[in-house]
Amino acid sequence: MSVDVVPEDPAPGPAGTAHVWERFLVGWHVAFWLFVVLAAVWLLATTHLTTGQRVEGLVLVAVLGASYALLVLRGDCRDDWRSPAYLTIAVTVVGFACALDVTMSMLLFVVFSHVWMFSRSTTWGAFWATALTLSAGAGFMSNIGWTQEVLREVAPQLLVALGFSVLLGFWVARIIDQSKGRADLITELQTARADLAAAENARGALAERERVAREIHDTLAQGFTSIVMLAQGAAARLPHDPDAAADRLGTIEEVARDNLAEARALVAALSPVDLDGRTFADAVRRLGERFARETGLAVRVEAPEAVAHLTRDGEVVLLRAVQEALTNVRRHSGASSVVLRLVPEDGDVRLEVTDDGQGFTPGSAEGYGLTGMRGRVGEVGGEVDVASAPGGGTHLVVRVPLVAAGGAA
């Protein structure tokens, strides 16, 4: 005899329990109505029952179907009064049906399952299974006769059915409890992973906002402050010293142009990395070409297609490194030429950015951009090296791991 059960805590869990419950319930809805129709067809087709008995049987089947439709099909009934109400009706109907004719015991197949499906706990399931067994036994005895011979024939069969139902019910309940525990654990892990990803994204966004704020403060804000002060000085000198005012206006234009260059550099560093529809090497070449157009510097890009197996995260990190390196060249180096070189190595890809600018003293404090670059590269398992000397240009090397062809991107 097939049965279905629910765990001690019947409320569906957030992920797995509701899915299991709904999956079983749909199947048993169909099975119930098939047995109801089968019982009704048998009552209409049988010849050994009187008309009154057929009507009585059809009424019992109709009562069972109506109670199922009104109490079970209108949402989950396990936690309110509808569950015991339906089971009371079902147990009673089965007893009267078995008293009408032993063939009506076909209803036991679905009602035994409903006992476990709609009980609030396995304890209640055992109670209702016992009640159903006693009701069916009383019905059989009423139909066949209240004799010791009939009792000895019917009782063992019902006890076997009861024992099998209870044992199978408790076994399935334990399996569902374990499945619910695993589903809850998976949900907790997924929630923790989502929270961690959100925290990492928030941390990255905060760091980027801090970097942008510092860049704006160190460049644009200071330039605008100079423009305001120069404009005030020019306005003060304009009535009595037009030549001095004109000099101030020339200085304002110069500072404004510098600020415009800084703004363009900042936009270039923050512009989205465009990899859709092109290879990583193509994206590096485009960055170099755009930098050459904007600055007038001689830019040479050596980017072979052999770096195509770089992970997507690695590509983004390297492109950000290229942007940051070019921004530093534009802002600080005073260089006339830049070389961008991508070199595939065993297990890594190496980015080299070399300029012929004024360089700097090794060991001096790094800017925020280079510090941020080290952090981003470190997150993908890479490393950053910088070599420079006053008057000797700067050589930046960024190494990021490759993955094998067909690996995760």
Indicate whether this model's pTM tops 0.75. no
- The per-residue pLDDT for range 32-87, each reduced to its tens digit, is 888 889 888 988 888 888 888 889 989 999 999 899 888 887 766 667 788 889 89
Q: How far is CA 274 from CA 191, 277, 289, 398, in A?
A: 31, 9, 14, 20
pLDDT category at 408 given cuts 50, 70, 90 is: very low
Per-residue confidence (pLDDT) for residue 397, from 0 to 100: 92
Biggest CA–CA distance in the chain, Å, is 132
Alpha helix segments (H runs only) across 217-241 = 222-237
355 membership: H or E segment, kind and range: strand 348-355
- The per-residue pLDDT for range 99-128, each reduced to its tens digit, is 888 888 788 778 877 887 777 777 888 888
Average pLDDT, the chain: 78
Burial class (CB in 10 A: 0-12, 13-18, 19+), 247: middle
- The per-residue pLDDT for range 147-177, each reduced to its tens digit, is 777 667 767 777 777 777 777 777 766 776 7
- In this structure, what are the phi and psi dihedrals at residue 182, rounded to the nearest 5 degrees? -65, -40
Separation between Cα atoms, residue 135 and residue 315, nearest integer Å: 73
User: Which residues, in sequence order, are CB contacts of 65 under 8 Å at separation 6+?
Assistant: 33, 36
DSSP structural state of residue 310: B
| Residue reference for tokens 């704006």 | 216
Distance from the first to the final alpha carbon of the chain = 51
Please report the sign of the dihedral spanned by the C-alpha atoms of residue 10, residue 11, residue 17, residue 18.
Answer: positive
